[in-house]
Structure 1
Amino acid sequence: MRSHGTGSGLGSGLTAGDITPAVLAIGRSDFPNILIDTLRRQADVGHCMVFALKRAGAATCLLDAGNIPIGGDLGAAYAGQFHQSDPNRDVLFEAEGGAPIMLPSFAPRMYGARYRKIFFHDSGIVDKCATAIWTGDTCFYVNFYRITAQGRFSDAERARLQTIAPAIGASVARHFQQDSTATPDQNLAALFTARAPLSALTPREQEVCRRILLGFSSEAISQALGISLHSTLTYRKRAYERLGISSQNELFSIVLGLLASPRGLN
């Protein structure tokens, strides 16, 4: 694999396309469902909750999706008062802006008795992984849970979450900052216009690459753009050469790497 200078941090056992559905759902109303489906496929995550934490002290539950029936109540309780007693709070608030944060492994002893009863015993949560990322004065705090029926995350599942966490966290942050009327192609178009190395492509090369990312076949791209199949393949070849890549998966990796970098959230 040739280097393109924008590595996404994806491990060798994970292909970029594995989390692409969540990335392409940014700004859409079905983002929560697609996100939890993606997390279930990748690491059998039971439930996901996202909180926005402000340096000024306020907290908001932005997303609650999965298999915990009282998830909404837990989100409201955490945002209302318990965020102040979260043992991860110091790690979150000491972090530098824009850098992905991976929180320490879950251990019940980290939490006070009341916190532990409400958020773990009463809800049936037996394990948790979490990641976070700051954009401006807002920390997007993404939590992944397993309940009693599932058991704890295996070492392999935890490692997989750590691998995809930067791109998942960046996608969540982008989603909650995104114009809800934008289509996936408009979101990609903005990324191709503003961010190197994608911005170095010609307009037609960008159009072809965007449709590759959206799952179009070469034949469908040709039809959509009104060009021959030969031209589509030529534009793809030239685009890959400019980017220093040789496969669709590497193209996905560039996009995910840009999303996981601080400027990818602007």
Structure 2
Amino acid sequence: MKAQAFTTDVVSDITPALLAIGRDGFPQALIGALRRVADVGHCMVFSFAGPRSAACLLDAGNIPTGRDLGIAYSEHFHQADPNRDAVFEGQARLAPIVLPTFARRMYSDSYRKIFFDDSDIVDKFASAIWTGDTCFYVNFYRITAQGRFTRDQIARLTAVAPAVSAAVARHFQHDPAPDSDPMDRLKNVIETAAPFALLTGREKQVCLRILSGLSSEAIAAELGIGLHSTLTYRKRAYDKLGIASQNELFAIALRLVASSRPLN
């Protein structure tokens, strides 16, 4: 029961960022969600289109030199990143990758000076996801005033990493139309994508409302059914999808959205 409450909590925390996919406010919605999840100070997203190519796509938070760090990493230091091998080794995986726990000794002297000492970064957590030939590499930082991530915060970041990585990938792919509603795209995925075809109509309705951030009680009220029935539909849907949590549901749906073209 405690684990279920934990998962519900962190999924609820990131829902505003998921609903901001494809919109101008996505960077601020993302950093706001990450601060609720684990008091993340700064977030940067890089893309890799090949071993020699890197670009900084997002820089939001409390590090004043973030833009300069993004340029330095993209132009040169991505080749010296100790996470690089794990990122590229994970290219064949469909699931998001959670990178090794941060340790200063992993980095060269010049890397540590620029990216940690001069920028006041004291800790980081990172994940990545491949969509086709492009990798989206998501980095979460804390500065000295915040201290290092606690064990609980790392657990929370690990829990949301699949959904956050998939959301980032979707946001930066295909230049979605500004008036394209993210929930419409999620609804389309649930109605048409292969994994969700296994579900009944009611199970799909419950899943869509879970993705919109509603509690089981709110779903029951909106659909006009009992709470017990809502929980039963959720369990049946999860069993058919081979998952056990809301976070895994987000990961499946957003990964499918990330691999699809925006709706017209």
TM-score, normalisation: structure 1? 0.78
What are the superposed Cα offsets for residues 126-154 of structure 1, whole Å, 9 maximum, x if unpaired?
00110111111111100000001101111
Matches within 5 A, 1:92-111: 92-97=87-92, 98-111=94-107
CA distance in 1, matches of 2:254, 2:213: 21
CA 1:118–1:53 in structure 2 vs 1: closer, same or farther (change >3 Å)?
Answer: same
What are the superposed Cα offsets for residues 33-92 of structure 1, whole Å, 9 maximum, x if unpaired?
111111111111000000001225210101101100110111011111111111111111
CA 1:104–1:183 in structure 2 vs 1: closer, same or farther (change >3 Å)?
Answer: same
* 1:190 Cα offset (Å): 2.3
Amino acid aligned to 1:180: A
CA distance in 1, matches of 2:170, 2:222: 36
User: 1:177 and 2:173 equivalent?
Assistant: yes
Q: Which has the higher helix share?
A: 2
Matches within 5 A, 1:68-217: 68-97=63-92, 98-177=94-173, 179-181=176-178, 182-199=180-197, 210=208, 213-214=211-212
User: 1:44 and 2:39 equivalent?
Assistant: yes
What are the superposed Cα offsets for residues 145-202 of structure 1, whole Å, 9 maximum, x if unpaired?
0001101111111111111111111111111115133112322222123224544567
CA distance in 2, matches of 1:242, 1:72: 43
User: 1:55 and 2:50 equivalent?
Assistant: yes
CA 1:129–1:251 in structure 2 vs 1: closer, same or farther (change >3 Å)?
Answer: closer
Tell me, which stretches of 5 or more residues in structure 2 are unaligned?
A: 239-243, 260-264
Amino acid aligned to 2:233: E
Which structure is richer in relative contact order (CA contacts within 8 A, separation 6 or more)? 1
Amino acid aligned to 1:256: F
- Over the aligned positions, Cα root-mean-square deviation in angstroms equals 3.4
TM-score, normalisation: structure 2? 0.79
What are the superposed Cα offsets for residues 92-114 of structure 1, whole Å, 9 maximum, x if unpaired?
11113323211111111111111
Amino acid aligned to 1:34: A
Q: Considering only CA atoms, is the larger Rg found in Structure 1 or Structure 2?
A: 1
CA distance in 1, matches of 2:165, 2:141: 15
* 1:260 Cα offset (Å): 5.9
CA 1:257–1:93 in structure 2 vs 1: closer, same or farther (change >3 Å)?
Answer: closer
Worse overlay, 149-158 or 12-21: 12-21
* CA contact 1:39–1:45 (8 Å) conserved in 2: yes
Q: Matched residue pairs, number?
A: 246
CA distance in 1, matches of 2:159, 2:257: 18
* CA contact 1:103–1:129 (8 Å) conserved in 2: yes
User: 1:25 and 2:20 equivalent?
Assistant: yes
Partner residue, 1:258: 252
Partner residue, 2:233: 241
CA distance in 2, matches of 1:53, 1:95: 13
Partner residue, 1:7: none
Worse overlay, 10-19 or 188-197: 10-19
Amino acid aligned to 1:172: V
* 1:245 Cα offset (Å): 5.3
Partner residue, 1:226: none
* CA contact 1:55–1:93 (8 Å) conserved in 2: no
Partner residue, 1:14: 7
- Aligned-pair identity in percent equals 53
CA 1:233–1:197 in structure 2 vs 1: closer, same or farther (change >3 Å)?
Answer: farther
Worse overlay, 252-261 or 163-172: 252-261
* CA contact 2:7–2:245 (8 Å) conserved in 1: no
Partner residue, 2:29: 34
CA distance in 2, matches of 1:216, 1:156: 24
